Structure 1
Amino acid sequence: MTPAQISLVETSFAMVAPLATPAAAAFYERLFELDPALRPLFRNADLVVQGRKLMQAIGFVATNLRVPDQLLPAVIALGERHGTYGVQPAHYDTVATALLDVLQDGLGAAFTPELREAWAAAYALLAETMIAAAGSSASA
């Protein structure tokens, strides 16, 4: 990610944070709309609690992109946990689509092509790290 992209993610997350609860609900609604087969992965989850965790994780990523030594160990641990839940590499693409759709809906005109690209880059970093961590923990 470029420094400009990091700045865009940081500043735009400040606009998203006050909308955390409805944004998280919209995210899961969109996720299950895109791939209903993902719903069973959340059968034992309270989606309100899960939504809070999602927004906390996104906030952590958005505020720590400049500090990879702090960010990456947490993302690796998250990836390892998601691997144990049955999350598959292909699911990350669906999550990306749902996330970008919800950001676009929530931010409206402020969600410029540059901002979309910045969030896509941040998510790609997150997803690639989590997929690698899940794969390495599965083979360990």
Structure 2
Amino acid sequence: MTQALVPVATTARPDTQPEAGREAPWLVYDRDCPFCAAYVKLLRLRGTVGQIHLIDARGGGPEVERIRRVGLDLDEGMVLQLDGRLHHGEAAIHALALLTTPSGVFNRLMRWVFRSEARSRLLYPVLRSSRNAALRILGRSRING
């Protein structure tokens, strides 16, 4: 099953508040996954998208319910909501790569690797498998049990 839902604009708004009637961007990820948590911590998004809400997928809430309602599986990938569109899995990491600042070695590397949709599609299953292995090793459950 492919994760890509919709293309994302490659330009970011310079303002820090969403446009009138627009929801602020948010990212739902697994905070219990050491790789996911480190990735989100190291990304520098606020400089390009302004305020972004980081949401733990295990904590529930309206964003998690929305994701489930549209049939996306959080065990299969994080979800980025940007400009009203949901980006899941490989599409989310691709969109994040396009939005991250080029400062720092980590961000430059992530931007270079995942700005390509083909590389994102190829590498995301490896990242997901690594997450699942890390959760098993640490004795943590998947989000959906």
| TM-score for both structures, normalised by structure 2 | 0.32
| TM-score for both structures, normalised by structure 1 | 0.33
